[in-house]
Amino acid sequence: MQNVLSILFCLSLFYLVVTTSVKSYISVLRMQGVLLVILMILPFIPDFSIFGLILPLTMLVVKVILIPRYMEKIMNDLNIKREIESTLQQFNFLLLSCFSMAVIFIVSNYLSKSTEFAVIPFATAFSAVTIGIYIIMFRKKLIVHVIGFLVLENGIFMFGLAVASEFPIIIELGSLLDVFAVVFLMGIAINKISSTIFTDDRLAQRRDP
């Protein structure tokens, strides 16, 4: 089951690479959040505990509901263009991403012979980190950079799930990155609104005799 969910997560990364719509990016973030929540719940199914559901439910609220809705609100309020602008041609971006992911899976398979870990979740996690970095590097919009950061954070989170039988401290610390992302998004909205108000005030002053 873990491998199936990891493959779905990996397919979502491919979709991020080929799409040019900001709304699609947000939808993929929501899907990745659902997959991570399921991956977190799986270890607790044999020994059900209400305390084991606290972190998954928190991540469900933050990753699947709060952050995507807030991003959509910012897009609508600030009239952000829905098309993604890139500093790298789409085909080259696809080739770079596919090559990087292929190398990651090959190296992960090689490392698994000497170290015991789940290859597919491990390679998918590092692929998410890599694609997140590429999005930050080669996409222009600031809100898309935030999405790239969240994809990177999802990869770090999934990496913690892949290499540990129990939740390590890295997962709990990684959840704090979502809080940072929310603060960052608030900063984008506030700064944009402030600059708009300032511009409108300047224009009004020029029109007054």
Question: pLDDT tens for residues 144-189?
Answer: 888 888 888 888 888 777 665 444 445 555 555 555 655 665 565 5
Percent with pLDDT over 70 in the chain: 71
Question: pLDDT tens for residues 109-153?
Answer: 888 888 777 788 889 989 998 999 999 889 887 778 888 888 888
Task: Give this prediction's pTM.
Answer: 0.78
What is the per-residue DSSP string for the chain? -HHHHHHHHHHHHHHHHH--BHHHHHHHHHHHHHHHHHHHHGGGSTT--GGGGHHHHHHIIIIIIIHHHHHHHHHHHHT--SBPPBSS-HHHHHHHHHHHHHHHHHHHHHHTTTS-S-HHHHHHHHHHHHHHHHHHHHB--HHHHHHHHHHHHHHHHHHHHHH-SS--HHHHHHHHHHHHHHHHHHHHHHHHHHHHHHHHHHHHHHH--
Domains of the chain: total: 1
Question: pLDDT tens for residues 35-77?
Answer: 988 888 876 676 766 666 777 787 788 888 888 888 888 777 7
Q: Whole domain around residue 197: which residue ranges?
A: 2-207
For position 193, what pLDDT does the model report? Answer: 46
